[in-house]
Amino acid sequence: MTYRAPLKEMRFFLRELAGVDEVCGKPPFEDASPELVPAILEEAAKLAENVLAPLNGAGEADPPRLVDGQVRETAGFAEAYRQFAEGGWSACSANPRFGGMGLPHAINSAASEMWAAANLSFSICPILSMAAIETLESHGEAELQEKFLENMVSGRWTGTMNLTEPQAGSDLAGVRTRAVPEGDHYRIFGQKIFISWGDHEMAENIVHLVLARIEGAPEGVQGISLFLVPKYVPEEDNTPGERNDLGPIALEKKMGIHGSATCAMVYGEEGKGAAGWLIGEENKGLSYMFTMMNSARLHVGLEGVGLSELATQKAVAFAAERVQGRPLGRRDGAIIHHPDVRRMVMFMKSMTEAARAISYKAAGALDRSLTGEDGARARYELLIPVAKGWNTEVAQDVASLCMQVHGGMGYVEETGAAQIVRDARIMTIYEGTTAIHANDFIGRKTQRDGGAELSRLLLEAGETCALAAKSDRLANAAGFVGASVSHAQELTQWLLKEGDETRAAAAVNFLMGCGTLIGAWLLLKSALAAEAAMEQDPHFHQSRIRICNFYAAQVLPRAEACFSAARRASLPDQWLTDMALGI
């Protein structure tokens, strides 16, 4: 089975949920037009299907190697990256001033979904580069932008994110990497781990964005600064110059994403320190890095969508061909006709579409915020922990169901189902664990504004339910979603009155319940649009309605279970003591 990009579904969600037609032509997207969207997506699909997907198995079987201090990527990846860069894909949403296309982020999100579905390991490299570009555009001094951005936007140079250290994972207050002033730059000393694509030979240069502490800076996260540290220090003409004092010292041996070079990096091993340039102001590095992290988190959520789509396609293709047993009411036939196999496939399909809807809605909110629309930034920030946290948990369920549909054949390597399970597992961990995003959602995104933005979203969902209740096809789904909206509203108000400990204990269930509900709302919203356009493409639009109805009836009850568990988080005598746990 070969991955095929679901272009029709993508275009539908971009138009009906992301609102891409509405932002095209408005600053800063003056050069974009709705008429270009199909052609852009079709070209992205060709690269994903014909170039990246055939290399997915190669990265699994022949992962990168560290040879004489240099990472050598999987054979074929360098040529694939050359085609990626020459196609201008690194420049999708970048500023035209530096050679970018200036396209809406929603369009780039659809392309990113394709890269991840076709070859997750490969896709991590350009996605991190895009996040680094956005960070440098937002916070870098003009001189740094002029020196680095054109080469990064063109794809000649790639970018990375360097946060984690052996003693500082999710808690960055423990960062020990040092920055020593030297003239107009700094010398960086320290070690970073888990650096995706920290080294490779696919591009001429690699630009590392590194969190470090200037000597004498305050303790904790208040004393962290952000530095641009290139693998090769550029010459005056912006070509790569001498090798900087940095490099990989090991490649991590991982459960999945074997084709991605995950490096342990050392800065200053030769003693002189790696030359680095301060981005923005001293001691504000973490706030700047949140620009890169939010971009990366949106894209990790899209990784969840892409891998879920791949898993669903693989499961459907296998189930349509595999003959085993006798389906009810039939003399013979493929297992797709067994009711429980059909149930699993429908779970996979509907959850994948819900995750896509959330990611595209978040990207659309980002685009609207850039056009100056009031309230759009708050909606984007509310949806980011959902798009990352919920979507990647969905990917675990969908990947597991893919293996289950395959049965014993899924547990052996030849079908590729096992690789999907392995690759998906990292998504709920990197760029912030599910718990981190749950605490962000219930804390910064809900408690901080007294639940105002979440309440606005739930109010919109209620209005959608009122419209859908008038439809014979969607009345049942509208009732189910409407009831869940009411429960979410009640729970939100209750949590706002509770203490920090209760909110923390309830956070993951609250996030998962809200994610499931928001997915239901957006599927209902898209089903209304499909019903209005039924005559244009009856089969496609009828499928959107059926997916919505299945999700509301069979998946949405998970939200009710999560909301109930969140409400019961503070009940006494349910948590074991340290002694009982053997601590």
Dihedral of alpha carbons 531, 532, 537, 540, sign? negative
CB 129 within 8 A of CB 177: no
Chain-centroid distance, C-alpha 460: 25
Please state, in angstroms and rounded to a whole number, the distance separating the CA atoms of residues 233 and 372: 37
CB 465 within 8 A of CB 522: no
Please state, in angstroms and rounded to a whole number, the distance separating the CA atoms of residues 304 and 117: 9
Per-residue tokens: 366: 């980002």
Q: How many CA within 13 A on the CB side of residue 147?
A: 18
Per-residue tokens: 285: 């590095």
Q: How far is CA 335 from CA 322, 399, 400, in A?
A: 6, 18, 17
Between β-strands 157-162 and 65-67, what pairing exists: parallel, antiparallel or unpaired? unpaired
Between β-strands 205-214 and 274-278, what pairing exists: parallel, antiparallel or unpaired? unpaired
Q: Is the peptide bond before 28 cis (omega within 30 degrees of 0)?
A: yes
CB 215 within 8 A of CB 266: no
From the DSSP assignment, how many helices (H) and strands (E) are in the chain?
20, 12
Please state, in angstroms and rounded to a whole number, the distance separating the CA atoms of residues 370 and 28: 7
CB 314 within 8 A of CB 402: yes
The residues that are catalytic are: 431
